[in-house]
C-alpha cells in the first residue's frame, strides 16, 4: 500500500487571482479540496513542503492527510498547475476520499529479475510501453507499485496486463483490450520508450472538478 503523508494547511477565507498571488508571495501554494459529496474547501500549503512532495515518485497515487484547524481530510492529488517558465507549482486540485472510496490512480510499474530473462542475456532490449498502469482500487489500499517478473522472458515476447498479478480489489481502468505493458525486442532494434501502443493515443485521465488556475 502506498504511504500516507500528513501536511498542515490553512483555510483561505478569500479566493480569486489577487488572493492567490498574495499567497504565493507569502511562500504558500493555493489549493482546493473537493469531492465526496461535500463542499469544496480552499486552502493554502507551504511551498517548500509542496515542492519536495510533488517531485517525489507517485505523487498522484499517494494519499495525503491535509490538516486544517485540527481536522484531517484524506485526499488524492488530481492536478498540479505549474508555471510555464519557472516550473514552480501554482495551484493544486485535491480529491477528498474516504477509506472505502474507490479511486482511479496511475500506479508505477517495476520490472525485476532482469538477470533471469534469456532475451536480455542475448542482448535484447526491454521496450517499456507503459511506465504506469491506471487502476481502480480502494482509496485505503492503493498499491505502491506493480511488480513484473522478467524471469524466462525471451526476445519477441510481450507482457500483457492479463499476465500481471494485481493487488486485491484492484482492476485496470482499461477493460476493452488486453493491453501491452512491455515487449522484449531483438538486439539492434533500438531502445524505445513509448507512451502508448498501436496508436492508442492518450489514455483518459481522471478529470478533476477543482478550482481553475488563479
What pLDDT is attached to residue 182? 97
What pLDDT is attached to residue 16? 78
What pLDDT is attached to residue 65? 93
What pLDDT is attached to residue 199? 43
C-alpha cell at 111: 520490472
What pLDDT is attached to residue 140? 78
Buried/exposed 164-183: b ≥16 CB within 10 Å, e otherwise: eeebeebebeeeeeebbbbb
Find out whether 179 and 206 touch, Cβ atoms under 8 Å.
no
What pLDDT is attached to residue 212? 44
What pLDDT is attached to residue 56? 81
Phi-psi region of 200 (alpha: psi -120 to 50; beta: other; left: phi over 0): beta
Chunked mean pLDDT (size 10), the chain, 214 residues: 79 82 89 91 93 84 90 92 89 87 89 95 95 90 90 96 90 96 83 45 42 46
Which class is domain 103-185? mainly beta
Compute the distance between CA of residue 104 and CA of residue 46 in angstroms, rounded to an integer.
Answer: 27
Fold for 4-98, please state it. Ribosomal Protein L25; Chain P (2.40.240)
**Domain ranges within the chain, ordered by starting residue:** 4-98, 103-185
Amino acid at each position: 500500500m502506498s504511504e500516507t503523508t500528513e501536511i498542515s494547511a490553512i483555510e483561505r477565507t478569500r479566493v480569486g487571482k489577487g488572493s492567490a498571488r498574495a499567497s504565493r508571495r507569502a511562500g504558500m501554494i493555493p489549493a482546493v479540496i473537493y469531492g465526496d459529496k461535500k463542499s469544496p474547501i480552499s486552502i493554502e500549503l507551504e511551498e517548500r513542503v509542496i515542492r519536495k512532495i510533488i517531485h517525489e515518485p507517485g505523487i498522484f497515487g499517494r494519499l495525503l492527510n491535509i490538516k486544517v484547524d485540527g481536522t484531517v481530510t484524506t485526499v488524492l492529488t488530481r492536478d498540479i498547475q505549474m508555471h510555464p517558465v519557472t516550473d514552480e507549482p501554482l495551484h493544486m486540485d485535491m480529491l477528498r476520499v474516504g477509506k472505502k472510496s474507490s479511486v482511479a490512480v496511475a500506479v508505477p510499474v517495476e520490472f525485476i529479475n532482469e538477470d533471469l530473462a534469456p532475451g536480455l542475456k542475448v542482448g535484447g532490449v526491454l521496450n517499456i510501453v507503459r511506465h504506469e498502469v491506471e487502476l481502480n482500487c480502494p482509496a485505503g489500499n492503493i498499491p505502491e507499485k506493480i511488480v513484473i517478473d522478467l524471469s524466462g522472458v525471451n526476445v519477441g515476447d510481450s507482457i500483457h496486463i492479463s499476465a500481471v498479478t494485481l493487488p486485491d480489489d484492484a482492476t485496470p481502468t482499461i477493460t476493452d483490450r488486453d493491453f501491452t505493458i512491455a515487449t522484449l525486442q531483438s538486439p539492434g532494434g533500438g531502445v524505445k520508450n513509448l507512451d502508448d501502443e498501436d496508436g492508442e493515443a492518450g489514455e483518459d485521465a481522471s478529470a478533476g472538478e477543482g478550482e481553475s488556475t488563479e
